[in-house]
Amino acid sequence: MSGDRTAILGRIREALRVPAPRHHEKPPAPATTVTAPFREWLPPVGPSHGDRVAVFARLSDVLKTEFIDCPDLAAAAQHLAQLAETNGWQKLALHPGALTDAVAKSLPIAQLRIDGDYDKNALEACDAGLTECECLVAQTGSVCVTTRSSGGRALSVLPPHHIAIASRAQLLPDLTAAYELLAQKYAASGYPSFMCFIGGPSRTGDIERILVLGAHGPKKLTVLLVP
């Protein structure tokens, strides 16, 4: 019995000296800054800006995101004021930015500006948070935020209603384009400490597979698209 065991182990050791052929694997792709296999299986997006808007709007509806394609900044500001009145907001949190300042400057409610030191408890008590973003991704209906573009880590997470505003030029077709944008913008200087793709309001289905919104973050997400 001992001799059989020794013979078997000897044959195994001998076989392991020669690597087995791996016909089931594809040869490795050449190294690049951003890979693009996503296009093989994620939803296709047409070439025009209208195609991007249509896909983003359809996926926003599926993901329970309110998407508003605004003709100008004034219309975006008016919709923000409507949200404040309808939902009874008392305070809005926002970070400095060309778009955030433009739509919030005439809002008749208190505002907490996230620039430098601020009270985190005061931020958590705000009814809504208004941020800019890196881009919108039509292919996934998502909003890409970072610490540098969106007022830090907490502004898009703590208030129960997150409003993201973006220009039409920021509406990209797919994830590959989004990663290419981030690489082009930050690869040389260093990436932000926080980057996130937000696909609708926070949700969970852990308990009896019942969908609950707002479990780990904002219960509502509104995206305002402006020229």
Whether this prediction's pTM lies above 0.95 is answered by: no
Terminal Cα-to-Cα distance of the chain (whole angstroms): 81
Extract the residue ranges of the chain whose pLDDT is less than 50: none
pLDDT at 36: 55
Q: Give the C-alpha separation, 153 to 114, whole Å.
A: 11
Reduced to 3 states (helix: H, G, I; strand: E, B; else coil), residue 179 is helix
Long-range contacts of 216-220 (CB under 8 A, 24+ apart): 217/157, 217/162, 218/129, 218/156, 218/157, 218/159, 218/160, 218/161, 218/162, 219/160, 219/161, 220/66, 220/160, 220/161, 220/162
Provide the CB-side half-sphere exposure for 190 (13 A, CA): 4
Which residues neighbour 201 within 8 Å (Cβ) at sequence distance 6 or greater?
63, 64, 65, 162, 213, 214, 217, 218, 219, 220, 221
Fold designation for 48-203+211-226: Rossmann fold (3.40.50)
Q: What is the pLDDT of residue 155?
A: 96
Three-class secondary structure of residue 148 per DSSP: coil
Handedness of CA 49, 224, 203, 63 (dihedral sign): negative
Per-residue pLDDT at 3: 72
pLDDT at position 33: 53
Domain ranges of the chain: 48-203+211-226
Nearest to 172 by CA among 187, 182, 162, 161: 182
